Chain A
Amino acid sequence: MEFTAIYYLIPALIMFCAGVYGFITRKNMIAMLISLELMLNAVDINFVVFNRFLFPEAMEGMFFTLFAIAIAAAETALAIAIIINIYRSNKSVDVRTLNEMKF
């Protein structure tokens, strides 16, 4: 059995959807962050797979992935910092407490 691109892409898509699902349903902000990480990683997989299977002559996808990982790390760090901030003032990491401003 040969592993074509689709075998990698479908798990990536599932990962992405799981991330989206998790992001929308989890109430804990940390969990949401994890979901986000899932989504970003799914994207990374996509890039790598495309590069590896479809366009192996250049390394654009790989490089993009590297940068994307870095960006994801930065995002997470910033998000964690802000969540901590929120925890300080709200004593909670429940996303539902972020509802002071609306309408």
Chain B
Amino acid sequence: MESTLPILILAIPLAMFLILGIAGCKMSHKLAAALGIAGMGTTLVLSYITALTYFFAPEFTGADGLREQLTVFNWEWLAFTKNLVISLGFFLDPISAMMLIVITTISFMVHLYSLGYMEGERGFQRYYAFLSLFSFSMLGLVVATNIFQMYIFWELVGASSYLLIGFYYRLHSAVAASKKAFIVTRFADLGFLIGILVLSYYTQTFDFVKMTSDPSWVLESTGGATFMGASVLTWALVLIFTGGMGKSAMMPLHIWLPDAMEGPTPVSALIHAATMVVAGVFLVARMFPVYMLEGSATMIIVVVGALTAFYAAMVACAQIDIKRILAFSTISQIAFMMVALGVASAGHGEVSHHGLGYMASMFHLFTHAMFKALLFLGAGALIHAVHSNNYTAMGGLRKYMPITHWTFLIGCLAIAGIPPFSGFFSKDEILAACYAWSPYIGVWMSMVAALTAFYMFRMYYLIFWWNEPHYHHAPHDAPVSMSIPLIFLAAVSCVAGFIPFGHFVTWNRMPYDIHIELPVAISSVVIALVAIAIARHMYIKENPLPAKMKAALPRLWDWCHHRFYWDELYQFITHRIIFNGICRPLAWFDRHIIDGTMDSFATVTNKASDAIRPLQSGQVQMYVWYYLIGALLLAGVTAVCVL
């Protein structure tokens, strides 16, 4: 493939970032936005061309339907050793092509949406600069040819996420949230880095193609080495997964994501719903053939994913802030994807289902990106209208904001898994894969799906129905620039499910026909409908039922509302243990013991100087006395030693 387009896909956002970052403050808002949107638009077009060419041009598909993996270009960037080389390249395979579409689409929508949402904000140009930076980093991440390139862009998305979360830097909460996000993901990245180190130590390569095309070779190259009872490959994969846990907000590293909602809402839509947070899923998918080798690593993925999915769904039921609800829903949905990846591996279930989970996961990633972005942007419109994040300040908004209402509803239906909306198809595949792997996990995930439907509709009803509070100004729909993305994404959410996804994206790059597994599909739809009905019953208009339930299970409510006190736990660990327990004592130790020792050399010298002061008493006879003693000692000691 021609490398011009791929280069431009990365270069344009970077250029936009540099232009807007350096010269932005001299520009008008309009010019900056126009530049940003134009840049992103171009990237969008180029990405679509690239991705669609990849998917549909016959030369990239073999005779047996096998899609090729293309390394469009691969420039040596930093050669550690002869084998270990970081290259910056452009790798095209089904998932990266799909991600190109997802990222550019959502990013473009957000660029457009922000025009209205961020209008008149201070630092408007900066905002667009950061968005461009993020788009660049995210695109670089998905097209990485080697694991270290991925790590590089992994860090860059982290940094741009940091900058965007902290966009309202005057607010303490935003600053704290951005810091938290960065540090938590940084901690996870440490695992990622060590994982890379371990893996590369044994395989002597960073290259994805080399690792994934013949995974058994990876296994051989470790030579069966073990560390603390587990094989080094398990260690490496689990550590790499840790990185994914951080970015994708898996328990216990999820705590940053809800706080990240302090950023502007479009940013939440882009980064914290659609693209960056699925990087972890993408990472595991990228390394999937290697993960398939290691049952224990995938087992960990499944367990973490399943627990996180359930946990996040529980918590989402008891939140007040609509963005938080969406954030927890995101966590839960990403956990779905993780679980799907975990259950896709060999060793369990029927052979025909191998790789189903992989496809399902990617499918869900795709659809989720669309409808979750839609929901976030919708929430943004709501917040824009009522100037509050809490549903308590909302209610009955369906009359005032029809476009928002309908698009939001579509989003909710999609996530709840109601056909024919896109979420149904992808979630169904995931559940099918889960059931195939193990019925227990299938049931568990179905339960989570039910909870999903419940909390989404709880939110929906509380916002758009329930009781109408007194509005100072009648809320109204958002301006056109904000509505267009909503409508577009809603439309996508309606139809995306019918894409024959299995033809494009599968783990072995061979086409795969999706067929709805009726028992799973029907049961999950029924469950979802029941959950929606319950939600409707409880929240369609003001009634004492929610309060009663809350009173009936106060403990549960408290725990859910306080997110099972994870933040407090972290607060305790970081502040009490690390900060007060390690840093402070260390600093004290440094000042008083280490430095004290150094100072004590001086003190001791001074003391010694004081102590020998009487030697110089000023009395001649004492001088002579010391003289004599000195001479005699000199003679005496030498005589004893020598003779």
Any A–B CB pair closer than 8 Å: yes
- CB within 8 Å of B: which A65-103 residues: 95-96, 98-103
Contact among A20, A23, A103 with B618 in the assembled complex (CB-CB below 8 Å): A103
B172 within 8 A of A: no
Check if B624 sits within 8 Å of A102, measured CB to CB. Answer: no
Give the residues in chain A near B81, CB-CB below 8 Å: none
A58 within 8 A of B: no
Check if A96 sits within 8 Å of B624, measured CB to CB. Answer: no
Give the residues in chain B near A100, CB-CB below 8 Å: 618
Known: A20-B628, A23-B624, A24-B624. A103 touches B613 (CB 8 A): yes
- CB within 8 Å of A: which B617-643 residues: 617-621, 624-625, 628
The interface centre, meaning the residue of B613, B616, B621 with most chain A CB atoms within 10 A of its CB, is B621
In Å, the complex CA distance between A98 and B620 comes to 8
In Å, the complex CA distance between A96 and B613 comes to 18
Give the residues in chain B near A20, CB-CB below 8 Å: 628
- CB within 8 Å of B: which A18-43 residues: 20, 23-25, 32
In Å, the complex CA distance between A19 and B447 comes to 111
Give the residues in chain A near B624, CB-CB below 8 Å: 23-24
In Å, the complex CA distance between A95 and B619 comes to 8
Check if A102 sits within 8 Å of B616, measured CB to CB. Answer: yes
Check if A24 sits within 8 Å of B621, measured CB to CB. Answer: yes
Give the residues in chain A near B618, CB-CB below 8 Å: 98-103
In Å, the complex CA distance between A95 and B624 comes to 13
Check if A102 sits within 8 Å of B617, measured CB to CB. Answer: yes
In Å, the complex CA distance between A69 and B616 comes to 32
Check if B628 sits within 8 Å of A95, measured CB to CB. Answer: no
In Å, the complex CA distance between A20 and B618 comes to 19
Give the residues in chain A near B619, CB-CB below 8 Å: 95-96, 98-99, 102
Check if B621 sits within 8 Å of A23, measured CB to CB. Answer: yes
In Å, the complex CA distance between A98 and B358 comes to 100
Give the residues in chain B near A25, CB-CB below 8 Å: 621
In Å, the complex CA distance between A7 and B613 comes to 44
In Å, the complex CA distance between A20 and B624 comes to 9
Give the residues in chain A near B616, CB-CB below 8 Å: 102-103
Check if B621 sits within 8 Å of A95, measured CB to CB. Answer: yes
In Å, the complex CA distance between A24 and B205 comes to 85
Give A61 Cβ to nearest chain B Cβ, in Å.
22
Measured CB to CB, the nearest residue on chain B to A23 is: B624
In Å, the complex CA distance between A95 and B625 comes to 14
Give A102 Cβ to nearest chain B Cβ, in Å.
3
- CB within 8 Å of A: which B130-169 residues: none
Give the residues in chain B near A95, CB-CB below 8 Å: 619-621
Interface string of B583-609 (1 = CB under 8 A from A): 000000000000000000000000000
Give the residues in chain B near A99, CB-CB below 8 Å: 617-619
In Å, the complex CA distance between A24 and B620 comes to 9
In Å, the complex CA distance between A3 and B621 comes to 36
Please report A residues at the B interface, Cβ cutoff 8 Å: 20, 23-25, 32, 95-96, 98-103
Please report B residues at the A interface, Cβ cutoff 8 Å: 613, 616-621, 624-625, 628
Can you spell out 16 A-B residue pairs with CB atoms less than 8 angstroms apart? A20-B628, A23-B624, A32-B621, A95-B619, A95-B620, A96-B619, A98-B618, A98-B620, A99-B618, A100-B618, A101-B618, A102-B616, A102-B617, A103-B613, A103-B616, A103-B617
List of 8 A-B pairs having minimum Cβ-Cβ separation, nearest first:
A102-B618, A99-B618, A24-B621, A103-B613, A103-B616, A24-B625, A95-B620, A102-B617
